[in-house]
Amino acid sequence: MKAFIVLALCCSFFSSSAVPLAFEFSDCDDPHVFKAVDAALKKYNEDRATGNQFALYVVMEAKRTAGPDPQYYVKYRILESTCAAEENKHWQECHYKVSAEAKTGECTARIHMNDADKTTNISQECKIFSDVSKIRYTVAPCLGCFHHISSDGSEVSDILEKTIQNFNKNSGEPALFKLVEIKEAKRQVVAGWNYIIKYEIEETNCSKDQFQDLTPECKITSRG
Ligand SMILES: *[C@@H]1O[C@H](CO)[C@@H](O)[C@H](O)[C@H]1NC(C)=O
Ligand SMILES: *[C@@H]1O[C@H](CO)[C@@H](O)[C@H](O)[C@H]1NC(C)=O
CATH code assigned at 195: 3.10.450.10
**170 in a structural domain:** yes
Q: Calculate how far, in angstroms, residue 20's C-alpha sits from the geometric centre of ligand 1.
A: 22
Does 41 or 135 have the greater pLDDT score?
Answer: 41
Residues 177 and 129 in one domain: no
Residues 101 and 162 in one domain: no
- Answer whether 35 contacts ligand 1 (Cβ < 6 A): no
What region does 51 belong to: left with phi over 0, alpha with psi -120 to 50, or beta? left
Residues 42 and 61 in one domain: yes
Q: How many domains does the chain have?
A: 2
Q: Is pLDDT at 212 greater than 80 in this prediction? A: yes
User: Relative to the CA of 207, which ligand 2 atom is closest?
Assistant: 13
CA distance 133 to 103: 10
Residues 153 and 126 in one domain: no
Q: Calculate how far, in angstroms, residue 42's C-alpha sits from the geometric centre of ligand 1.
A: 18
Q: Got the DSSP string for 75-86?
A: EEEEEEEEEEGG
Q: Note if the pTM is more than 0.85.
A: no
Residues 88 and 149 in one domain: no
Q: Which of 73, 119, 122 to mutate to test the pocket of ligand 1 (most atoms within 8 A of CB)?
A: 119
Q: Calculate how far, in angstroms, residue 169's C-alpha sits from the geometric centre of ligand 2.
A: 20
Q: Is pLDDT at 170 greater than 70 in this prediction? A: yes
Give the full edge-to-edge strand order of the sheet including 119-129: 52-64, 71-84, 104-114, 119-129
Residues 72 and 39 in one domain: yes
**217 in a structural domain:** no
- Answer whether 121 contacts ligand 1 (Cβ < 6 A): yes
Whole domain around residue 200: which residue ranges? 145-207
Q: What is the DSSP letter of 66?
A: S
Residues 126 and 168 in one domain: no
Q: Which of 177, 218, 222 to mutate to test the pocket of ligand 2 (most atoms within 8 A of CB)?
A: 218
What pLDDT was estimated at residue 142?
A: 46
Residues 117 and 162 in one domain: no
pLDDT above 70 coverage of the chain, percent:
73
Write down which residue in 134, 154, 169 finishes a domain: 134
Atom 2 of ligand 1, nearest CA residue: 121
Residues 151 and 179 in one domain: yes
From 4-13, 61-70, 79-88, 185-194, the region with the lowest mean pLDDT: 4-13
CA distance 38 to 32: 10
